[in-house]
Structure 1
């Protein structure tokens, strides 16, 4: 990705390392929320905090998502998808010649930004050039020097901050009289390059001010679109909405959370991490809110962490939901020990305190309701304390299922158009057995022998002769390492409905 020009003739180009998607990973997160700038509703993949800042800008205190993202990467997260959520915001702009200089994305962030443009006509030293310098409050300045006039639009397309677009359907200029003053917009770039500027100047400068940008808080429709966008991504295995509690209120907030959990229940390959809304200040209100989100099956797809954290900000500390930092801890432990490891009793970095300290009886109440605590302990600092879903199941079990489902899809997907036969069933059993053996050797499954850890059944007992030959059924039983509770998955391979994985 070309960032811009720091010096005349020097272009800084960065090629992201290892940027290919890896659907089998279970440490990749998706964040849905508000940011300072960036494309609206479009999933953007980042592999570092610098990637996020380059696309979405620095945290400016207007939303929690940027701080959550910073907490994710500071706590060991390696890859995050970001979907910026906003209402119908306006884009800041300014007029230049026959072009519109517009901010690279909607929002008020670019208001007051200055775009200094200098045209240098042909001289003995060389052909005509255009130089542009962009300064926006809160953003690093950008300089594009020595651009041929015919390449200005293309070169500014690499800017993080602005774009240059022709004014559509602009009326043709009327013939100028000798006593008529030049049009405020001035001549087009091509005319300047030909040296026909009526002023006869060798060089000419413009100082433009961007204005007209506005921010609009997202509603349920915008969040629903973001939920669907993340559901269409095969890579994320962790999902958070740090600004949901502040952006939506009442029943719409619960409806959106249920919509997100339903996508996780359908895909069976990702964990939703929710934050208790800031207006649910008491323990009873927090418990009542989480219990209202759905039945036990739906709640098994999500975990909640409470209370919020105090993180460094400018100026002073800022209160942000814990989900981003917790996702970073989960991702870190995933890389160190595997998806089957319980994300508990682990240190949280890039946070200085808890937003509120609950007395022990209230902590017990939260724990019994399936809300995981973030605690401050003497000598260790802030810790993730608890690893259960909102249904009081184990997060480690859910994430083991997510890993297995992703692996099963990878090995079974290419076989979806094969006709049911003993050869196909044997191929499927061998492929699934290799996946489960890998999990067993990694310590994710119980038992001293593989036979005690898992069982794959794909024969005439669940594929009788009278069954549709275009469909194959395979049943998988898995015993997690601890505690000893079997997980049952049912794999249906059908030519007419693709690959389906069902949790029994």
Structure 2
């Protein structure tokens, strides 16, 4: 009611809606766990395209089966992936450089700059320092360049004082995607390049001959020529512009840009001269008596400070992939990630030991059951024939689960790095096909058949016939086939529990994935029920909300049956929730669905007939 009614009339008050809907969750967000060129270790990162993956994880590399799987995922229709970079324990190392200072004391290390993540990529980073700030006697600027990737970052007005608002550790660690820093001493790092001594208020005579050397290239020039340069510079800033113009006019060595891109900056009463190069050897040196008179030899450093010592971690072993639940490493890093529906471990197929492969799959399978994720299992690379597959499938008995599906054989694609044909595990491409199918038809449609084409695939490592397919399908192996005109495609939709001998109700991949989708949607959509009064009114609301959600799926074709009554039911009343349940704070909701199962075997009967039909 209105809080105050002071006059006779009509009062209007807006009330919050009591309608609570159950929304469908995602169905095809795929997590990839394994080795990459770069990226944060054991930390899930979402990527929305392969270009995004290249920026965050370094793109394709021959040592990373995961990188190719992600490439195939997006190439086959995938839209969103979660990447967890894992490396063999103790093998990765981040690149580093230590910046030094000569302010007020003998040279000493003051600032360590580390690559944000381990890997040889960090050895391509370059750091530059200047003191061109409003408080040029106390603060400094830090510039980071990725010489290989082209990314640049700049942080201005930094201080080495922990109490300053622009404290270097706080600003850089929070804002940089390339580096992190560690303060070793309170002094500022020296600027990069050549820094002059402070000029007096009255500039010295500038019509002098200077000799400058960058690397092995030496040039001479006249600093100020009245006939050409007009009025002499009146302050240090104008002197900086004059010197920069003179340096850029000097001829470079063939293919170099050291002189042409030179930069001269004025800060305070000093000049900083930096070669236009990211080569640390391109040090600017002014030589001769005139250079000494002008004070251009005060401090000489490289134009950039290179990070060194980065090392890629070795591909992870079984223990690294399994990870630690407490430390959230390996596949366990996915425990805190919402909206992951599929899991791929493309590096497992290259393991020589099937026992190691099964050990990792066992841990991954337990995670999938807890988090309602479906696991895509690559067949071992050693399965080079149907007989090898039939003989090897027995090793997977300990991990036969309705939360996993196994795909055979491997794919043959052109390697973008070499241009040669190469075999790859199929999980990445299959995940892309699943994502495409979910988007076009729905999670209840089997990701198999003539619509489930494998884009970019040239051929398969084993070409299967109908009879050979018939030997593997009853064992719960999803076959990849090549058909005329259509090309390579997925031709199986069974879970690992889908072997005929097991007679499981979760035999088919779409049935299992539809149930996971419904479970997760109801789990999230009914969170509001917690702590509500456990009475008839609550039970009625639960029935209405759950029925509305299931009816929407029914209209889209997710369930069989001609009417909603035949497709699903929702029960939540005094029969499902007794007085004893209410006393314990429990409300029981019973939901049943009739999922559509795929037409795995199509039988066409043809019969001859004699005589003629009367078509009149």
Given the two structures, how large is their TM-score scaled by the length of structure 2?
0.65
Structure 2 equivalent of residue 222 of structure 1: 320
Structure 1 equivalent of residue 128 of structure 2: 117
Structure 2 equivalent of residue 292 of structure 1: 395
Of the candidates 577, 580, 584, which is equivalent to residue 463 of structure 1?
Answer: 577
Structure 2 equivalent of residue 351 of structure 1: 457
Of the candidates 340, 347, 362, which is equivalent to residue 468 of structure 2?
Answer: 362
User: What SS class does the counterpart of residue 466 from structure 1 fall into?
Assistant: helix
Of the candidates 511, 514, 520, which is equivalent to residue 406 of structure 1?
Answer: 520
C-alpha distance in 1 between matches for 2:335 and 2:34? 15
C-alpha distance in 2 between matches for 1:224 and 1:250? 15
CA RMSD of aligned residues (A): 3.4
Deviation at 1:283, TM superposition (A): 3.4
Residues paired across the two proteins, number: 441
Structure 2 equivalent of residue 95 of structure 1: 98
Of the candidates 362, 365, 374, which is equivalent to residue 271 of structure 1?
Answer: 374
Does structure 2 retain, via aligned residues, the 8 Å contact 1:23–1:235? no
Deviation at 1:135, TM superposition (A): 4.2
Does structure 2 retain, via aligned residues, the 8 Å contact 1:34–1:84? yes
C-alpha distance in 1 between matches for 2:174 and 2:575? 61
Of the candidates 396, 403, 416, which is equivalent to residue 313 of structure 1?
Answer: 416
Structure 2 equivalent of residue 502 of structure 1: none
User: What SS class does the counterpart of residue 446 from structure 1 fall into?
Assistant: coil
Of the candidates 141, 145, 154, which is equivalent to residue 134 of structure 1?
Answer: 145
The answer to whether residue 492 in structure 2 is matched with residue 480 in structure 1 is no
Deviation at 1:229, TM superposition (A): 2.0
Structure 2 equivalent of residue 453 of structure 1: 567
Deviation at 1:280, TM superposition (A): 3.8
Instruction: After superposition, give the CA deviation of every residue in 1:177-201 in whole Å (9 maximum; x if it has no partner).
Output: xxxxxxxx97489xx8777899535
Q: Structure 1 residues 231 and 143 mapped into 2: Cα distance closer, same or farther (>3 Å)?
A: closer
Instruction: After superposition, give the CA deviation of every residue in 1:232-255 in whole Å (9 maximum; x if it has no partner).
Output: 322011111111233583423212
C-alpha distance in 1 between matches for 2:374 and 2:590? 23
Deviation at 1:101, TM superposition (A): 2.8
C-alpha distance in 1 between matches for 2:81 and 2:377? 17
C-alpha distance in 2 between matches for 1:108 and 1:247? 25
Deviation at 1:24, TM superposition (A): 0.7
Does structure 1 retain, via aligned residues, the 8 Å contact 2:376–2:427? yes
Q: Structure 1 residues 407 and 131 mapped into 2: Cα distance closer, same or farther (>3 Å)?
A: closer
User: What SS class does the counterpart of residue 467 from structure 1 fall into?
Assistant: helix
Structure 2 equivalent of residue 165 of structure 1: 181
Does structure 2 retain, via aligned residues, the 8 Å contact 1:118–1:204? no
Deviation at 1:301, TM superposition (A): 0.7
C-alpha distance in 2 between matches for 1:266 and 1:133? 43
User: What SS class does the counterpart of residue 589 from structure 2 fall into?
Assistant: strand
User: What SS class does the counterpart of residue 31 from structure 2 fall into?
Assistant: strand
User: What SS class does the counterpart of residue 310 from structure 1 fall into?
Assistant: strand
C-alpha distance in 2 between matches for 1:67 and 1:26? 22
Deviation at 1:456, TM superposition (A): 1.5
Deviation at 1:264, TM superposition (A): 2.1
Unaligned residue ranges in structure 2 (runs of 5+): 1-22, 101-109, 160-165, 196-266, 273-294, 324-329, 499-506, 600-616
Deviation at 1:157, TM superposition (A): 6.3
User: What SS class does the counterpart of residue 472 from structure 1 fall into?
Assistant: coil
Does structure 2 retain, via aligned residues, the 8 Å contact 1:157–1:163? no
Structure 2 equivalent of residue 501 of structure 1: none
Does structure 2 retain, via aligned residues, the 8 Å contact 1:25–1:235? yes
Unaligned residue ranges in structure 1 (runs of 5+): 1-21, 174-184, 485-504
User: What SS class does the counterpart of residue 32 from structure 1 fall into?
Assistant: strand
C-alpha distance in 2 between matches for 1:204 and 1:213? 24
Structure 1 equivalent of residue 529 of structure 2: 415
Deviation at 1:366, TM superposition (A): 2.1
User: What SS class does the counterpart of residue 346 from structure 2 fall into?
Assistant: coil
Structure 1 equivalent of residue 431 of structure 2: 327
Instruction: After superposition, give the CA deviation of every residue in 1:117-167 in whole Å (9 maximum; x if it has no partner).
Output: 3647589xxx9975746345xx4223446955557764686555x314125
Greater strand percent: which structure? 1
